[in-house]
Amino acid sequence: MPEPAAVGSTEPVAPAPGKASLVDRHVGFVHALRAAGVPVSVAEGLDAANAMRVIELADRESLRAAYAATLVKKPAYRPGFDVLFDLWFPASTTGLSAVRATDLATASVKELREHLAALLSGTTTDQEMREFAEAMVERFGRQEATGPGRQNWFSYSVMRALSPETLMAAILRNVLQGRERGGLAEKTVRQQVNAGIKRFEDAVATDVRRRIAEDGGIERIARSAVRPPLDQIDFLRITKADLARLRREVYPLARRLAARLTIKHRKGRRGRLDFRRTVRASLQSGGVPLTTHFKPPRPHKPELVILCDTSDSVSSFAHFTLLLTYALREQFTKVRAFGFVDTVDEITRFFQPGSDVVEAMTRLVNEADMVRFGRTNYGHSLEGFAERYADALGPKTSLLILGDARSNYQPPALDVLKSLASRTRSAYWLNPEPRQQWDTGDSVASEYGTVVPMHECRNVSQLTAFIETLA
């Protein structure tokens, strides 16, 4: 059976490798979503297939909406979903007339930039923007590769040739036409142009991916085109840009963590004796207080102590945990944070309310006394903490240890950790390494885990799951 045409097209497209029907394409799309970290159950896949029976398949945006409604659970999953949808259900590429294609192929760069400026400053449909982007990729995005009949496609060469970000001044001059600058009209035009540039960049990237998929196969480009959703990015591989995006995720997690620890703190405890209610109830039994009544315990925030490995091996994880520390300060009565590599220092002073978190992290790296010899030593750090800061722990305190439990084959000081944990109400250890790597090399994760419950915490999703288990 031949491969179906691209959605919204009356012309057939080249068959994708190994795909023979719309059903196969649906199955491949669902599999690609799962491989990219978007959770799709069997039932949800069947819901999407059933939805395809009641929509117009030639309407590509209706198909996209049906898939999104049945398969996408979180806004964070939508960007990856859209990238994969464009690969598995590409738009028609036959909308540009031969005359128009020739005009764009022979026009000068100056004329093309003027045409792009008109698209950015006017009301442009998605189809017009997509057709222009396809023509520009065809003209500027191609680069011959080694091997007969092979070629590479790049978005960068298109954006470098047209430089849409440099068109803003000319567009403002033409649109405002002598009106006062700096007012609401200019702000509106700037927003419109920036949104148009983003649409053009996305259209170029989508067409480049489509062409690469046609040359090398959808499955290959799908594996590299989509980053994992934000909540599944490994802490040990996180980038500065990801950290900036994670700030929005941290504060809800901090509130939930505080709520869970408060519940554990209050569980099984009662308030003071309610003498009046107890006496009143005893009148039913001739003055004998058979039933005692207690006042509800006073709600209060728990206290928290954070002990964080800040060595280079977990530097990305350390940055995230320090970001979490910053958010936790607002949720607990008292938060004291300590960082260590081979010696320990209190770093609470860097996270005062109102301070900038980026500035706080910079000061911490430059001013904190956490490194003497440069090699991680959990045992020596625990001993130093017990000697200098043991008073930070108490019966109202929750202890949170964050690190990979790799101590460069130094003594782990398990007895010291056991003594510290016994002073607290609860203690937990979050390890950013995969569980299968525990106890390999210099890891002593299981030994520490016998003293303090250790949880794998490689991403926001696992941190959320840990917080839920506290309930």
pLDDT of residue 17: 42
pLDDT of residue 36: 83
pLDDT of residue 93: 61
pLDDT of residue 420: 94
pLDDT of residue 87: 85
Using DSSP, state whether 362 is helix, strand or coil.
Answer: helix
What is the rounded end-to-end Cα distance, in angstroms, of the chain?
Answer: 54
Using DSSP, state whether 19 is helix, strand or coil.
Answer: coil
pLDDT of residue 178: 67
pLDDT of residue 3: 42
pLDDT tens for the 471 residues of the chain, in order: 334 444 444 333 333 444 447 888 888 899 889 888 888 999 999 999 999 889 988 888 899 999 999 999 888 888 889 888 988 888 766 555 665 667 777 888 888 888 888 888 877 787 888 888 888 888 888 876 655 555 688 888 888 888 888 888 888 888 777 666 777 878 888 888 888 888 898 888 888 888 887 777 777 777 777 777 777 788 877 777 777 777 777 778 777 877 777 655 444 456 677 778 888 888 878 777 778 877 776 655 568 899 989 887 777 777 777 777 777 776 676 788 898 988 899 988 887 766 666 677 777 778 888 887 778 899 999 999 999 999 999 888 889 999 999 988 999 999 999 999 999 988 999 999 999 999 999 999 999 999 999 999 888 888 888 888 875
Count CB atoms within 10 A of the CB of residue 425.
16
Beta strands in 411-459 (DSSP E): 426-431, 454-456
| Structural Rg of the chain based on CA atoms | 30
pLDDT of residue 7: 46
How many angstroms separate the Cα of 157 from the Cα of each of 153, 205, 358, 441? 9, 11, 34, 45
pLDDT of residue 262: 66
Give the position of tokens 């280079």.
312
Query: Cα torsion for 462, 383, 368, 430, to the nearest 10°?
Result: 0
Question: What is the spatial distance between Cα 49 and Cα 30, in angstroms, rounded to a whole number?
Answer: 10
Question: What is the spatial distance between Cα 383 and Cα 407, in angstroms, rounded to a whole number?
Answer: 13
